[in-house]
Amino acid sequence: MLNTILARWRQGHRTVPFPKGEPVLPDRLRGLPVLDRTRCPDSCRACEEACPTDAITAGSQNLRMDLGKCLFCGSCVSVCPEGGVRFTQEYRLAVRGRQDLFLTGETLKLAEALDEKMRRLFGRSLKLRQVSAGGCNACEADVNVLNTVVFDLGRFGIQFVASPRHADGLLITGPVTENMRLALEKTYAAVPDPKIVIAVGACAISGGVFHGNPEVHDGAGSVVPVDLYIPGCPPHPITILDGLLRLVGRIEARDPAQSAPTTHGA
């Protein structure tokens, strides 16, 4: 018993303080892109041609990026010597509307909370059924890690459950393959109303690298209504956690250029 207590004392507190404090992120993290067409020659479309998912459109006046398609692979940066495209370490990426993922500068309309009625229902207790609809297991892994002691998702009252009948909503990863379409529809139908749907990762939002393939449905939105989009390939666990907390009103929407987020406590 004494050895157990001593070991626990040596380990210290392992849970990250987020959202009360800013997270410590790896230097290699690629977060919110910044686009600046003024740095590029008018005729240059190297970034558009290099993008494997056609996420970038290089017009004569501006650049536009679809974060729902972006793999955050950095190919656009590597072919842009003028710095017209660069990635920051801004991890706040979740939005409520698909159209909000179309980026033309360096600002993003971050996700707003559910309406008051839905916040009363889910703000302190949210049960989610995770559906891997043909994913590669990258997004699934970063969702799963939220249950570890480091992130401790349960301290916010958010938990994953085994049955959709016990859930308040779905968290979907993967491009929704044809083989998973019916399963997703049945799982959605089994969740009691009112319910929410969260799409995590480029595949679940747009189909990702599989976009346009006849064997996939280009994301969850083509099969079920989506309430929250969390882009990335895969998104960092903190990005996912930030999105979930914004949706239930535990973090207020604000400009990501500002410092630490406003919180309502854990």
DSSP three-state, residue 18: coil
More confident residue, 94 or 8: 94
Show me where the domains of the chain are located: 116-247
How are beta strands 63-66 and 56-58 bridged, if at all? antiparallel
pLDDT of residue 257: 46
- Digit-coded pLDDT (tens) for 231-240: 999 999 999 9
- Digit-coded pLDDT (tens) for 28-45: 999 999 998 888 877 888
pLDDT of residue 58: 86
Distance CA 214, CA 205 (A): 16
- Please check whether residue 187 is in contact with residue 131, taking contact to mean a CB–CB distance below 8 angstroms: yes
Tell me how far apart the terminal alpha carbons of the chain are, to the nearest angstrom.
31
- Digit-coded pLDDT (tens) for 211-230: 999 999 999 999 999 999 99
149 pLDDT exceeds 50?
A: yes
Q: What is the average per-residue pLDDT within 96-120? A: 92
The secondary structure element, H or E, covering residue 257 is none
pLDDT of residue 266: 37
- Digit-coded pLDDT (tens) for 150-199: 999 999 999 999 999 999 999 999 999 999 999 999 999 999 999 999 99
pLDDT of residue 156: 95
Query: How confident is residue 8, by pLDDT bands cut at 50, 70 and 90?
Result: low
Query: How confident is residue 13, by pLDDT bands cut at 50, 70 and 90?
Result: low
**Does domain 116-247 sit in CATH 3.10.20.30?**
no
Query: How confident is residue 253, by pLDDT bands cut at 50, 70 and 90?
Result: low
Give the number of other CB atoms < 10 A from CB of residue 84. 21
